[in-house]
A and B are shown apart, each in its own frame.
Chain A
Amino acid sequence: MAVSIHIKNVMKKYDDNVVIPNLSLDIAKGELFTLLGPSGCGKTTLLRMIAGFNTIEKGTIAFDEKIINDIPVHQRNFGMVFQSYAIFPNMTVYGNIEYGLKNKHLSKEEIKKRVFEIMDTVQITPYKDRYPDKLSGGQQQRVALARAIAVRPQVLLMDEPLSNLDAKLRLEMRNVIRDIQKRVGITTVYVTHDQEEALAISDRIAIMNNGEIYQVEVPEKIYLRPYNTFVANFIGHSHCFQATVTESGEMTAIKFETGLTVNLKNVKPLTVGQVVLVYVRPEEFVLCDESQGMPGIIKSRQFLGKFINYFVDFGTKNLTEVSVNTNSANSLFSPGEKIWMRVDTERVNLFAKDSETTLLEGVQSNV
């Protein structure tokens, strides 16, 4: 049932405006693959090209070996879940799910069996006779999902399916989607601009910007080892320090603009004196004593429950956000206090200043 998707050198333009210049991507059979990027990056455009709602100006898209460019949309055999759910307002829950099956030359019993099966899976059987205007957002979302997978499509396409739900339902529904997708084993392309959602739900993520893919990786690697500064900035939050290489070879030593010197492992060969960018996430700072760290002045404080975030002046152009675990000893400081901090050298990321791509060994863009 499930197929792999092969996108090869596709190009998309609206009039003279090129939205996707040249994009290639392979999505494996049965995986939940997420296109993640800021709005306007072309992720929905790409999804709609796979669906066939957008034309493909150049290149090919194939399900397994079969190129689908010229197959009319209604014959492509995919299911789609829309941001607006797009539940047919003139049909009941049952009618919505049955709709796609009625077109498949199945016996009445078979249709009924399948509708009930899928309604059970997404847990909407009690609402089967309701019309959409009597359903909550979460229930509509379940109907949309059920309707899309009821026809047992080769591919499931999801366009920001959770963005219209409130925060709590969003968490619940993403588990539902993840769960059902794994159970049905259907190849799924999932579009979102919500990084947390993408990290939680995906087998692999492609980070997109300006119609290009910057990195394709599993969620943890996307977060821990971004390929370039765009990915590092987009996923989570990092402070960028400038640093100068003071030693290269077996061990690489760099000196921060703030005066801190650290030793790093697994770094590509660099030249001494070269300027590099060090990306440090708020939780990658470690409190230490005067001898090991760099000094900073606390400017303000945000209490977030599990963590306390401080905005610290290390003498750089912008304030630096530092996250301290509330439960750790000595976690509470007041604005104006002076502290010393070092960074976790295993976890910080290093980028070239000119190309803005990673300087760490073994980090791949996979594009």
Chain B
Amino acid sequence: MFKRKQIRFDFWDFVTLFSLVFFGMFLVLPVGKMILYAFQGKGVEGFTLANFIKFFSRRYYVSALTNSIKVVLSATFLIILFGVPLAYITTTYKIKWKKFIDVLIIISMLSPPFIGAYSWILMLGRNGTITVFFKNVLGISLPDIYGFRGILLVFILKLFPYIYMYTKGALKKVDASLGEAAESLGYHGIKKILTVDLKLITPTILAGATVVFLRAFSDYGTPRLIGEGYITLPVIIYQEWVSETGSNAYFASSVAMIMMTVAAVVFLIQQQISNKKNYTMSSLNPPQPKQLHGVKNFFAHFFVYFIVFLATLPQIYIIAISFRNNNGMMWTEGYGFGNYQAVFQKATNSILNTFKFGIIAIFIVIIFGTLFAYLTVRRKNIFSKILDVFVMFPYVIPGTIFGLILLMTYNSGPIILSGTAAIIIIAYVIRRMAYTVRSSSAILRQINPNIEEASISLGYSQLPTFFNVTMPAMIPGIISGAILSWITIINELSSTLMLYTSKTATMSVAIFQEINRGGYGTAAALSTILTFTMVVSLLLFFRFTKSEEIDL
């Protein structure tokens, strides 16, 4: 019996093997190549530390590292400061139009940060609407938006929803009787919040903060647009790779390695802390929001509405301005559909590409994400554990780096993929699979394995059982992961920017190019189309699943 089992090579073994090969080719190999390259140089034999010495001996590079860390840490800290109270208020107290607010927060979270940066430039930049208004009408010159301040502003408003969503999720699991117990023991007000609620949700806040940190740390578009002289690491990597004086893959690799090391360290520290301080909570008695009165009620609403207003403002502004007439470079008087006509003349291809690549990628993500989830939950062995690490690993690889190393690996040698749609789709699949795998495996853990056994006992072998019984039961989890995968795929900028050619440009790339080129009108129109796609996807999701929110 035992021997037979070893020889038997079933469907799941095949999936395991296939996925190990897939991740081996498109994750392990590129990362390996990056590490090798980091210790090599042009015309240098063998291994060398020259790249790292160069990096750490020039103020330009070192300041990019410190800039990155400074702005990202400040953003993370401020986001916790705003996001946690925001989540506390909306879960503990009754806030009017809360569902609508949650949807706005989700939308502002899922739209790409660089569009936010672009919008803030249009409002508060040198010739920004608000700046000009203040200068000409009120005679006040507003402080400069560019550099550290601008990046910080965009990061805070783009990324606070992560902390908000994580914290809200955790607060909902804190049993209301815990708070009542604390009160019966004489703790109330702030003291109760600090000793009970906050303590219990700290691991979750940390997890959210890590996501914020990694997202901000790896963002290329925002510092590139609004940073001006304030250079960060992703910008350096991109510059080194596409520099006009000849690209330096070796040096770019070593900068990438430094970035990934920082990301991995942050990630590991968070994992360590979470593992130590993980409370299992099951809320039999979920907290019920209370009605506030008078001044307190006013301030609670004001705080919530103000933050949400700021977060949505860039999006609204872009939509408004996309209808403003534009002669290519300059805004002109009046409103109309001119920008959209221009978009459909110039950039139809990029819109089509976004959908084409996105649909193919999400299809692959759903199929493999579901299968991988099954492997890691139901078929625990050394290989499925390795697979789990592979799936989650892209979390700590910034998109720019992932695009770079994928390109370095497949622009020469036996398999050449550079310039193809395939390489972009592969990048999407690997970068965005984690959402689907995670929520699929979460739901699978709640599905009793007995239903699979019941199906087998009724005469169906493993594979039909999976498709007849297991997968249908997993659908809610698959969908709620896939919606995140889908939206982040259609918004993807940083790795696409590395991998696209004129034929494979996507919407986000086209927006980015237009902004750089000064085609603000078309950029706004494209951004609006992207936002519209996203909102429609979300609405379909809410409609279809009858849920009211998204689980991160």
B and A form one assembly: yes
Compute how far the CA of A78 lies from the CA of B459 in the bound complex, rounded to whole angstroms: 9
Chain B residue nearest in CB terms to A77: B459
Closest to B1 in A: A55
- Contacting A at CB under 8 A, from B1-50, are 1-2, 4-5
Chain B interface SS verdict (over half): helix
Chain B residues near A223 (CB-CB < 8 A): none
Proximity string of chain A (76-110) to chain B, C-beta cutoff 8 Å, 1 when within and 0 when not = 11111011111111100000000110011000000
With the chains together, A86 CA to B457 CA distance in Å?
12
Judge whether A80 and B455 touch: CB under 8 Å: no
B 138-160 to A, binary, CB cutoff 8 A, 1 in contact else 0 = 00000000000000000000000
Is residue A281 contacting chain B, with contact meaning CB distance below 8 A?
no
B454 beta carbon closer than 8 Å to chain A: yes
A74 touches B454 (CB 8 A): no
Given contacts A82-B454, A86-B450, 9 further A-B contacts (CB under 8 A): A72-B461, A82-B448, A88-B454, A88-B455, A88-B472, A89-B472, A90-B473, A104-B459, A144-B454
B544 → chain A, closest Cβ, in Å? 15
Q: What number of A residues sit within 8 Å (CB to CB) of B?
A: 34
**Is B453 among interface residues, defined by CB-CB distance under 8 A?**
yes
Complex-state Cα separation, A25 to B472, whole angstroms: 39
How many Å from the CB of B168 to the closest CB on chain A? 26
Q: Which residues of A contact B382 (CB under 8 A)?
A: none
The answer to whether the Cβ of B264 comes within 8 Å of any Cβ in the partner chain is no
A203 to B465: give the CA distance in the assembly, Å: 34
Flag A98-134 by CB within 8 Å of B: 1 or 0 each.
0110011000000000000000000000000000000
How far in angstroms is the closest Cβ of chain A from B231?
53
Provide the residues of chain A in CB contact with B307, threshold 8 Å.
Answer: none
Give chain A residues whose Cβ lies under 8 Å from the Cβ of B460: 74, 103
Q: For residue A144, which residues in chain B have a CB less than 8 angstroms away from its CB? A: 454
A88 with B469: CB separation less than 8 A: yes
Q: Which residues of B contact A88 (CB under 8 A)?
A: 451, 454-455, 468-469, 472-473
Q: Is A303 an interface residue (CB 8 A)?
A: no
11 sampled A-B residue pairs with Cβ under 8 A = A51-B453, A73-B456, A82-B450, A84-B448, A84-B450, A86-B448, A88-B451, A90-B472, A103-B459, A147-B454, A157-B457
**How many residue pairs at the A-B interface have CB separations less than 8 Å?**
78
Chain A residues closer than 8 Å to B190, beta-carbon distance: none
Closest CB pairs A-B (n = 9): A100-B458, A86-B450, A90-B472, A86-B454, A82-B450, A80-B457, A86-B451, A103-B459, A74-B461
In whole Å, how far is B450's beta carbon from the nearest beta carbon of chain A? Answer: 4
CB–CB B1/A57 < 8 A = yes
Given A90-B472, A103-B458, A148-B457, also A55-B2 (CB < 8 A): yes
Q: Which of A72, A74, A82 has the most CB of B within 10 A?
A: A74
- For A74, the chain B residues whose CB sits under 8 A away are 456-461, 465
Whether, in the assembled complex, A297 has its beta carbon less than 8 Å from a beta carbon of chain B, the answer is no
Alpha-carbon distance between A75 and B457 when the two chains are bound, in angstroms: 8
Residues from chain B with Cβ under 8 Å of A147 in the complex:
454, 458
Residue interface bits B282-322, CB-to-A below 8 A is 1, else 0: 00000000000000000000000000000000000000000
Closest residue on chain B to residue A86 by CB atoms: B450
Nearest A residue to B451 by beta-carbon distance? A86
Instruction: Number of B interface residues at 8 Å Cβ cutoff, please give it.
Output: 22
A78 interface neighbour in B457, B461, B469, B473, Cβ under 8 Å: B457
A241–B113 CA distance with the chains assembled, in angstroms: 81
On chain A, the residues within 8 Å of B457 by CB distance are 51, 73-74, 76, 78-80, 148, 157
A69, A78, A100, A157 — which one has the most chain B CB atoms within 10 A of its CB? A100
A59 to B: closest C-beta gap in Å: 11
A344 at the binding interface (Cβ < 8 Å)? no
A103 to chain B, nearest CB (A): 4
Beta-carbon contact of B453 and A80 below 8 Å: yes
Chain A residue nearest to B462 in the complex (CB): A74
Q: In the bound complex, do residue A70 and residue B453 qualify as a contact, i.e. CB atoms below 8 Å apart?
A: no
- Which residue of A79, A84, A99 is within 8 Å of B455 (Cβ)? A99
Across-interface contacts of B469 in A (CB, < 8 A) = 88, 90
- The distance from the CB of A85 to the nearest CB of chain B, in whole angstroms, is 8
Is A53 interfacial (CB 8 A cutoff)? Answer: yes
For the complex, give the distance between the alpha carbons of A103 and B163 in Å.
49
How many whole Å from B183's CB to the nearest CB in chain A?
34
Q: Is A308 an interface residue (CB 8 A)?
A: no
Pick from B453, B459, B465: contact of A82, CB below 8 A.
B453
Nearest-CB residue, chain B, relative to A144 = B454
CB-based contact B456/A151 at 8 Å: no
Residue of B nearest to A89 (CB): B473
Residue among A88, A99, A144, A147 facing the most chain B CB atoms (10 A cut-off):
A88
Q: Which residues of A contact B454 (CB under 8 A)?
A: 80, 82, 86, 88, 144, 147
CA distance A77 to B453 in the complex (A): 13
Is A173 in the interface zone, CB < 8 Å from B?
A: no
Q: How far is the CA of A189 from the CA of B116 in the complex (A)?
A: 66
B452 to chain A: closest residue by CB? A86
- Taken together as a complex, chains A and B put the C-alpha atoms of A43 and B1 apart, in Å, by 22
Look across to chain A and name the residue whose beta carbon is closest to the beta carbon of B459. Answer: A103
Chain B residues whose C-beta falls within 8 Å of the C-beta of A151 in the assembled complex: 458-459
A-contact bits for B468-507, CB 8 A (1 contact / 0 none)? 1100110100000000000000000000000000000000
> Please, how many angstroms separate the alpha-carbon atoms of A137 and B131 in the complex?
66
B467 to chain A, nearest CB (A): 11
A159 to B49, CA, bound (A): 64
Assembled-state Cα–Cα distance A72/B462 (Å): 10
CA distance A80 to B450 in the complex (A): 10
**Which residue of chain B lies nearest to A55 when distances are taken between CB atoms in the complex?**
B1
A100 — which chain B residues lie within 8 A by C-beta? 458-459
